[in-house]
Amino acid sequence: MFQFMFDPDNLLGRILGRIGQIIVLNLLFLLFSLPIFTIGASLTALYHTVMKIGWGRKSVHIVEEFYTCFRENFRQCVIFWIAALAFYAALYFSFIVSRAYGLVAVETALIILGALVFVWLQYLFSNVASFKGEGKQHAFNAVSFLIADPVKMAAVAVLNLIPLFLTFLDAVNQPTFVFCWFFFGFSLITFAESKIFLKLYAPYFKSNCEKIQAK
Within 8 A by CB and 6+ apart from 200, the residues are 145, 148, 149, 152
Nearest by Cα to 190 from 77, 29, 4, 71:
29
- Whether residue 215 is predicted with pLDDT greater than 50 in this model: the reply is no
pLDDT for 7: 53
User: What is the signed CA dihedral for 118, 122, 127, 128, rounded to 10 degrees?
Assistant: 80
What is the per-residue pLDDT for 192?
96
C-alpha 91: how far from its chain's center?
Answer: 21
Q: How far apart are CA 187 and CA 47, in angstroms?
A: 9
pLDDT tens figures, 108-134: 999 999 999 999 999 999 999 999 888
What is residue 205's predicted lDDT score, i.e. its pLDDT?
83
- Could you give the angle at which helices 186-201 and 150-169 cross, rounded to 10 degrees? 170
Q: Looking at the whole model, is its pTM more than 0.85? A: yes
